[in-house]
């Protein structure tokens, strides 16, 4: 047994340490498997005090620590690229309290996103941010990435739903940020912490805002023969002043994968479908639904279907939320990109992506939050084929370039992590980056909590993205 294992086991017990090579390898990456590094150990504390003791020990012994929730992240954030230990919140899964009167939940941050809404359902409440990974991802991961989801078009992203946090700083100090009422006195440190990608501290408990479940919903599926018509319909719906709860686009390749996996009944000959949901009080929903149907038809929809009951609605959402998983039916590997563009540029950017796909000779599927202009091009490739992998990565770079060229942003919800840190210099000036470094330094002066993430490194020593796994 190594000295590292013994030191960690003294804090969290034998059950709380993973040190065998095979077991550690399961923590080598997050959802970006091209970027992998096996940590020296994985530690699984159960309480804030244990997290504090682990971080104090790591601080004293100059060991890097990488926080990890469920490892569903898509920017390499939970990967120990500079070595060190992974601190997993997988045992911190309790919903501590639900207060129906104040509409809040106090949770440990390792709780799975959907479990919060399940617990809150009996009070008629829910936690609104609903990443498509919500059956697996944790609240801690959502906080770190400031995650979104299909329904954040109407309800906002994670930062709009976190009132207070308990966090452990890299030297082991426990701090409480914000207030359960949501009041901000002085600087909004909760706002600063949310989206810090595990580089400021480890969030161990959070007070979340819950919202009432909608009284009624209308869920529509617009079917289009041309992708351009679908994207023009998106702009037309928003321009008409309607704010759907969700407005998602799924293109033909994704439909093909979803149908192969689940046989839901999406039209396989369509170029794209729009999944549109309205929610709120019953009065007025039908009028809005009719207006959306008319707008889609005016912009070239072949038909607009309406879910007749809850089971039809669930089936449509299954198609969307399980789309990423279904991609395995048509490709051995895919690389999910995440960037944001001004919504009005959607039609032209989708044309550009099609051109990139043809030029790089890789298939690119699209399933994304169209209402917010948050694209997710899925670049399909075979990671056993180094040359094809290079083309897939080059296509990804070109997509990012194209999004930036139309005034877009590097990430909508998956974060910068290790994946896009070198791109930060393209978007921000040295002065901007220096200001960000100084903010990080206030929380994480040694830089040993989640090192070499988010900000570009003066000497990147991890070979990404040039060295695909399995590709030599
Ligand atoms: C199929 C699929 C669909 C997805 N759909 C969406 C989507 O719709 N919207 C969206 O926003 N994202 C989506 N994602 C990305 C991902 O699920 C989110 O980023 C999610 O919030 C990550 O949560 P996690 O628990 O898996 O975090 P991890 O991947 O384990 O970690 C992510 C980051 O959070 C940090 N972290 C984790 N826990 C803590 C903590 N307690 N304190 C401090 N830092 C911490 C880690 O260090 C890392 O930097 C999707 C991913 C997949 C695989």
- pLDDT value for 461: 52
Counted domains in the chain? 2
Residues 137 and 228 grouped into a single domain? no
Domain end point (choices 165, 196, 213): 213
Confidence of residue 464 (pLDDT cuts 50, 70, 90): low
Cα–chain center distance at 165? 20
337 domain residue, yes or no: no
Do the domain assignments include residue 375?
no
Residue 471 pLDDT class (50, 70, 90 cuts): very low
Tell me which residue has its CA closest to atom 13 in ligand 1.
Answer: 131
342 Cα: distance to centroid of ligand 1 (angstroms)? 24
CA-proximal residue: ligand 1, atom 5 (nearest): 132
Ligand 1: which residue has its CA nearest to atom 50?
133
What is the mean predicted confidence (pLDDT) over 420-436? 96
Q: Output the CA 240–ligand 1 centroid distance in Å.
A: 34
In the prediction, which pLDDT does 469 show? Answer: 43
Residue 349 is assigned to a structural domain of this protein: no
Percent of the chain with pLDDT over 70: 97
Quote the mean pLDDT of the chain.
Answer: 94
Span 213-270, pLDDT tens digits:
999 999 999 999 999 999 999 999 999 999 999 999 999 999 999 999 999 999 999 9
Q: pLDDT band for position 445 (50/70/90)?
A: very high
Instruction: Kindly report each contact of residues 60-66 with a partner whose C-beta sits within 8 Å and lies 24 or more positions away, as own/partner.
Output: 61/7, 62/446, 62/448, 63/4, 63/448, 64/448, 64/449, 64/450, 64/451, 65/170, 65/202, 65/448, 65/449, 65/450, 66/39, 66/198, 66/449, 66/450
Among 170, 196, 213, residue at a domain's last position:
213
**Residues 254 and 276 both lie in one domain:** yes
Q: Please tell me the distance between residue 269's alpha carbon and the centre of ligand 1 in angstroms.
A: 33
Ligand 1 site residues, Cβ closer than 6 angstroms: 30-31, 66-74, 77-78, 89, 109, 131-133, 137-138, 140-142, 144-145, 147-149, 197-198, 202-203, 324, 413-414, 450
pLDDT of 457? 82
Residue 140 placed within a domain: yes
- Residue 384 inside a domain? The answer is no
The pLDDT score that the predictor gives to residue 1 is 67
Q: If you average pLDDT over residues 178-206, what whole number do you get?
A: 96
Same domain, 1 and 118: yes
Q: Tell me the residue range of the domain where 133 lies.
A: 1-213
pLDDT at 467 over 50: no
C-alpha to C-alpha distance for 356 and 396, rounded to whole angstroms: 9
Examine the pLDDT at 197 and tell me if it is beyond 70: yes
Cis peptide before 465 (omega within 30 of 0): yes
Q: What per-residue confidence (pLDDT) applies to 184? A: 85
Q: What is the mean pLDDT of residues 445-459?
A: 91
Q: Which residue's CA is the closest to the ligand 1 atom numbered 7? A: 131
Over the stretch 67-118, which tens digit does the pLDDT of each residue have?
999 999 999 999 999 999 999 999 999 999 999 999 999 999 999 999 999 9
Tell me, yes or no, whether 405 lies in a domain: no
Give the model's pLDDT for residue 466.
45
CB within 8 A of 379, min separation 6: which ones? 334, 335, 337, 362, 363, 364, 392, 395, 396, 399
Nearest protein CA to atom 45 of ligand 1, as residue = 198
Residue minimizing CA distance to atom 15 of ligand 1: 73
Please check whether residue 14 lies inside any domain of the structure: yes
**How much distance in Å is there from the Cα of 145 to the middle of ligand 1?**
6
Residue 313 sits in a domain whose CATH number is 3.30.70.2190
pLDDT (mean) for 320-335? 92
pLDDT at 470 over 60: no
Asked if residue 334 has pLDDT above 60, the reply is yes
Query: Per the domain annotation, does 109 fall within a domain?
Result: yes
Please indicate, yes or no, whether residues 185 and 257 belong to a single structural domain of this protein. Answer: no
pTM score over 0.85: yes
Position of tokens 């077991």?
Answer: 23
Say if residue 116 is in the same domain as residue 251. no
Tell me the pLDDT band of 388, cut-offs 50, 70 and 90. Answer: very high
**If you measure from the C-alpha of residue 62 to the centroid of ligand 1, how many angstroms do you get, rounded to a whole number?**
26
Cα 73 to averaged position of ligand 1 atoms, centre (Å): 4
Same domain, 242 and 139: no
Note whether 148 and 30 are same-domain residues.
yes
């Amino acid at each position: 047994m190594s000295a590292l294992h013994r030191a960690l086991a003294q804090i969290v017990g034998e059950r709380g340490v993973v040190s065998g090579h095979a077991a550690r390898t399961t923590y080598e990456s997050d959802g970006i498997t091209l970027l992998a590094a096996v940590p020296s150990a994985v530690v699984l504390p159960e309480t804030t005090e244990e997290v504090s003791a682990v971080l104090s020990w790591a601080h004293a012994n100059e060991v890097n620590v990488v926080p990890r929730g469920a490892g569903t992240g898509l920017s390499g954030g939970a990967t120990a690229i500079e070595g060190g230990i992974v601190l997993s919140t997988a045992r911190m899964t309790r919903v501590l309290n639900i207060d129906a009167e104040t509409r809040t939940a106090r949770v440990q941050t390792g709780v799975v996103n959907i479990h919060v809404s399940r617990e809150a359902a009996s009070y008629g409440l829910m936690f609104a941010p609903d990443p498509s990974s919500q059956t697996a991802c944790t609240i801690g991961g959502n906080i770190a990435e400031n995650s979104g989801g299909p329904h954040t078009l109407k309800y906002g992203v994670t930062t709009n739903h976190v009132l207070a946090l308990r966090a452990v700083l890299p030297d082991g100090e426990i701090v409480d940020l914000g207030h359960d009422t949501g009041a901000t006195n002085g600087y909004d440190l909760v706002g600063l912490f949310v989206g810090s990608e595990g580089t400021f501290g480890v969030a161990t408990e959070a007070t979340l805002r819950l919202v009432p479940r909608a009284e009624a919903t209308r869920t529509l599926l617009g079917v289009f023969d041309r992708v351009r018509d679908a994207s023009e319909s998106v702009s037309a719906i928003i321009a008409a002043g309607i704010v759907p709860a969700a407005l998602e686009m799924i293109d033909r390749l994704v439909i093909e994968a979803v149908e192969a996996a689940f046989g839901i009944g999406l039209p396989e000959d369509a170029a794209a479908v729009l999944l549109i949901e309205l929610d709120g009080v019953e009065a007025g929903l039908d009028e809005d639904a009719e207006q959306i149907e008319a707008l889609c038809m005016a912009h070239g929809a072949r038909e607009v279907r309406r879910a007749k009951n809850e089971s039809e609605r669930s089936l449509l959402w299954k198609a969307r939320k399980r789309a990423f998983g279904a991609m395995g039916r048509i490709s051995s590997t895919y690389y999910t990109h995440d960037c944001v563009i001004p919504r009005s540029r959607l039609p032209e950017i989708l044309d550009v992506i099609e051109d990139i796909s043809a030029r790089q000779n890789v298939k690119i599927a699209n399933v994304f939050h169209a209402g917010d202009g948050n694209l997710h091009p899925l670049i399909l490739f075979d990671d056993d084929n180094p040359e094809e992998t290079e083309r897939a990565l080059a296509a990804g770079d070109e997509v990012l370039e194209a999004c930036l060229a139309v005034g877009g942003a590097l990430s909508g919800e998956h974060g910068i992590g290790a994946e896009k840190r070198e791109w930060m210099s393209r978007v921000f000036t040295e002065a901007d980056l220096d200001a960000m470094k100084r903010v990080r330094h206030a929380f994480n002066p040694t830089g040993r909590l989640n090192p070499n993430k988010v900000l570009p490194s003066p000497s990147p020593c991890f070979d990404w993205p040039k060295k695909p796994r399995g590709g030599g």
